[in-house]
Amino acid sequence: MEARIIDGKKLSERLKEDIKARVEGLKQKGVIPGLAVILVGNDPASAVYVRNKERDCNQVGIQSRVVKLDEDTPQRELLEYIYKLNADPTIHGILVQLPLPPHMDPNAVINAIDPSKDVDGFHPVNMGRLVIGEECFEPCTPKGIIRLIQETGQPIAGKHAVVIGRSNIVGKPVALMLLRHNATVTICHSKTVNLKEITRQADILVVAVGKPNLIDGSFIKPGAIVIDVGINRVEDQLVGDVNFQDACRVAGWITPVPGGVGPMTRTMLLENTILAAEKKWAG
């Protein structure tokens, strides 16, 4: 059996067409959706991400404002900039590119963003709403993961989902979202005993740990949906947390790296920005 590929790039392009139409609808009502992205320092990977986000915005008609600050910018100055964006009616979404320089507290920075403009979905208000099942901005990568699973046509309800990784950015929120979709959810991490025994029970396996080729076919239940969130550079090649070739022999569906979760994360950022603009227009 050869796993079917869940093409995140194709799905994201399809979703962008819907987003573009929603942007046009808002513009006809006099609303131009605006996203501000703040980049502090000169991290090369972050700079690439920001350029990609700017390109995505231009593609669908969202007004993009990129703010670049020096590595040694005081945290107070960054917070003041965020407060100005909070009060700016032309900006509907605010994203601060992580990681931040060591002298900055990422929690304090995230907490400074107006929850109604927190299109990354990391503010404690939005995370709290996610926990209790209220409407909120869902974090972009987990939101994209759910869409990729749904793309298989297989129901999430009643399935056993195993998430490897417990970060606040991916592991915890995607577990909550899978639970919201009525899956039975197990979270595994570095202290988990008998990892393989647990993952082989998974109908849906989400791997988000940042360790190249950690999971091979022996960890996977035959026919399972495998979502590989990892992106690791090994000998000038990008590889995931899942050994793709080996996993393909066992899984029913699998995301590639690159071209799986990554494009969906950026597209969900666009969708959250449109949601923010639509809510603002609706009053």
Q: Are 270 and 241 a contacting pair, CB within 8 Å?
A: no
Q: How many whole angstroms from its chain centre is CA 23?
A: 21
Instruction: List all residues 6 or more positions away from 194 whose beta carbon is below 8 Å from its beta carbon.
Output: none
Amino acid at 239: V
CB contact burial 153-192 (16+ within 10 A = b; e otherwise): eeebeebbbbbbbbeebbbbbbbbbbeebebebbbbeeee
59 is annotated as an active-site residue? no
Distance from C-alpha of 10 to C-alpha of 16, rounded to nearest angstrom: 10
Q: How many CA atoms lie within 13 A of 179 on its CB side?
A: 14
Catalytic one of 16, 53, 117, 221: 53
Catalytic one of 97, 118, 159, 172: 97
7 is annotated as an active-site residue? no
Catalytic one of 56, 118, 120, 228: 120
DSSP string, 27-50: HHTT---EEEEEEES--HHHHHHH
As beta bridge partners, residue 237 has 234
**Torsion angle of the four alpha carbons 130, 134, 137, 139, in this order, in degrees rounded to the nearest 10:** 20
Total Cβ atoms within 10 A of residue 275 = 18
Write down the residue that tokens 């899984």 correspond to.
251
70 is annotated as an active-site residue? no
**Residues classed as catalytic:** 53, 97, 120
